[in-house]
Amino acid sequence: MKLRRSMLFLPGANAAMLSTAFVYKPDSIMFDLEDAVSLREKDAARLLVFHALRLPVYRGIETVVRINPLNTPFGHADLEAVVRAGVDVVRLPKTDSAEDVEVLEREVERIERACGREVGSTRLMAAIESASGVINALSIAKASPRLIGIALAGFDYVMDMQTERGDGTELFYARCAVLHAARAAKIDAFDVVWSDLNDEAGFLKEVDLIKRLGFNGKSLINPRQIELLHNAFAPTEEEVDYARRVVAAAIEGERKGLGVVSLNGKMVDAPVIDHARRVLQRAEASGTRK
């Protein structure tokens, strides 16, 4: 099971951060060539990210690059550079339709063939940032077998909806639509960034919400948020203990040829067993909650 709880944004033009961010150990590092880079720094940022992707220190962590949209003067150059550099995942911003993903996929395959990279080895992620994107979330999520996930980008979405960030009510429908689309397509779903670095209580409240909804993880803008997020996503000792007992009961029931087993007087069926196994997988990968 690939953990994608945390995806840390790094400005593509910040050479110091690009050379040291691996020490924070997020599940994925996302080099940003779009919103975090000014127009006059676009070319320099692309070159910095190209060289960062080739550093040995990043071979043990999933690398993601948010390119500029392909309909801008920078998008195709970004894509050429990062695919040739060996990026794991290309994140496409402002994805409004399945056609946007299909165009990206064709371009990625062209570059892979041109540079000798294995066709299909570059994975994709679509960022949904508008009402149109939310409405088309399911077709976007199913647009390409290269997609590892879809992400909701909160700021652009609330601007498109003519509202603003508040207590989360403004994002509820979009979160549910993106999450359902991801689950139907059997890919991951990523939540929006939390921008108030001084409000840890608010951050943890939002993390608890998106975890209960079913999101795989969250985009982050500061390394301070990584440990808080990972700990919140880890199962408790009690959850792990119960999961072990469920799996043990299932194994015993299977040995006896029983279709349904019980634990402490409660029926244990296939969905309960599957959930227990996922809890144990998360505990093995991330430990238990502190």
Instruction: Show me where the domains of the chain are located.
Output: 6-232, 237-286
Nearest to 152 by CA among 160, 87, 3, 144: 160
Predicted confidence at residue 211, as pLDDT, reads 94
Is residue 267 classed as helix, strand or coil in its secondary structure?
strand
DSSP 34: S
Whether the pTM exceeds 0.85: the reply is yes
Predicted confidence at residue 57, as pLDDT, reads 87
Q: Which residues pair with 11 in a beta bridge?
A: 32
pLDDT tens, N- to C-terminus, the chain (290 residues) = 688 999 999 999 999 888 888 889 999 999 999 999 999 999 999 999 999 999 998 888 999 999 999 999 999 999 999 999 999 999 999 999 999 999 999 999 999 999 999 999 999 999 999 999 999 999 999 999 999 999 999 899 999 999 998 888 999 999 999 999 999 999 999 999 998 999 999 999 999 999 999 999 999 999 999 999 999 999 999 999 999 988 888 888 778 777 677 787 777 778 888 888 988 988 887 788 87
Predicted confidence at residue 255, as pLDDT, reads 80
Predicted confidence at residue 253, as pLDDT, reads 78
Nearest to 216 by CA among 165, 281, 122: 281
Q: HSE on the CB side for 149, CA within 13 Å?
A: 22
Determine whether domain 6-232 maps to CATH 3.40.50.300. Answer: no
CA 275 to chain centre: 21
Q: How many residues does the chain have?
A: 290
Q: Could you tell me the maximum CA-CA distance found in the chain, to the nearest angstrom?
A: 69
The radius of gyration computed from the CA coordinates of the chain, to the nearest angstrom, equals 20
CA 21 to chain centre: 17
Predicted confidence at residue 203, as pLDDT, reads 96
Predicted confidence at residue 38, as pLDDT, reads 95
